[in-house]
Amino acid sequence: MKVKTPIPTLKQKLKRFFMVDLIHGLTLTLKYNLGALFEKDAVAGKAIYTEQYPKVRPDVAPRFHGAPRLNMDPETHDTLCIACNLCAIACPEDCIDVLAMDVEIIVAGKPRRKKVLDEFIFDTSRCMFCALCQEACPTSCLELTQDFELATYSRAGFVWNREMLEQGREKVKYTS
């Protein structure tokens, strides 16, 4: 039985003889090599895409939601939280606990009782970073920051208390 094999055209023959595809491949790799040495912009050209991660932290997307933070008044360093519990109500995962206490203050010469924040528990292991709490907060105290390094060594480490939320966690700085 005769088997038909396709006969190459003259163009294909010439391409094969002058090894056009081989040269094309070689120029491509050479271009990338030179691009890595001389070009600056990886996205536009053929330069390096690698991020030096722990040394250089990448810029995340502007709408990214990461680690929570309780903002403070920049002048008095008092918390902005008024213990209204709106964030805990808004949270679909029930991961926020706001514990308030009453304190006595003098307003216009009369003793008054005021509700202030005692402790703020935020369980990041259950959080899905929807930022509904951030939307609900009337004083823009609770905020989800762009920090994305949330891993810890134990499950208990995922539960952040007020101090952690206000100060932020300690970041490891890497040099060289």
Kindly state the helix (H) or strand (E) to which residue 99 belongs, with its residue range. strand 96-107
For residues 71 and 143, the answer to whether their CB atoms sit within 8 Å is: yes
Residues that bind other proteins (CB under 8 A): 1, 3, 5, 16-17, 22, 25-26, 28-30, 32-33, 35-37, 42, 46-50, 52, 176
| Shortest Å distance, C-beta 1 to other proteins | 5
Measured CA to CA, the distance from residue 128 to residue 165 in angstroms comes to: 17
89: helix, strand or coil: helix
Tokens of 41: 């912009």
Nearer to other proteins, 37 or 61 (CB): 37
Nearer to other proteins, 34 or 99 (CB): 34
| Shortest Å distance, C-beta 175 to other proteins | 11
Tokens of 151: 């891993």
| Shortest Å distance, C-beta 18 to other proteins | 9
Nearer to other proteins, 55 or 112 (CB): 55
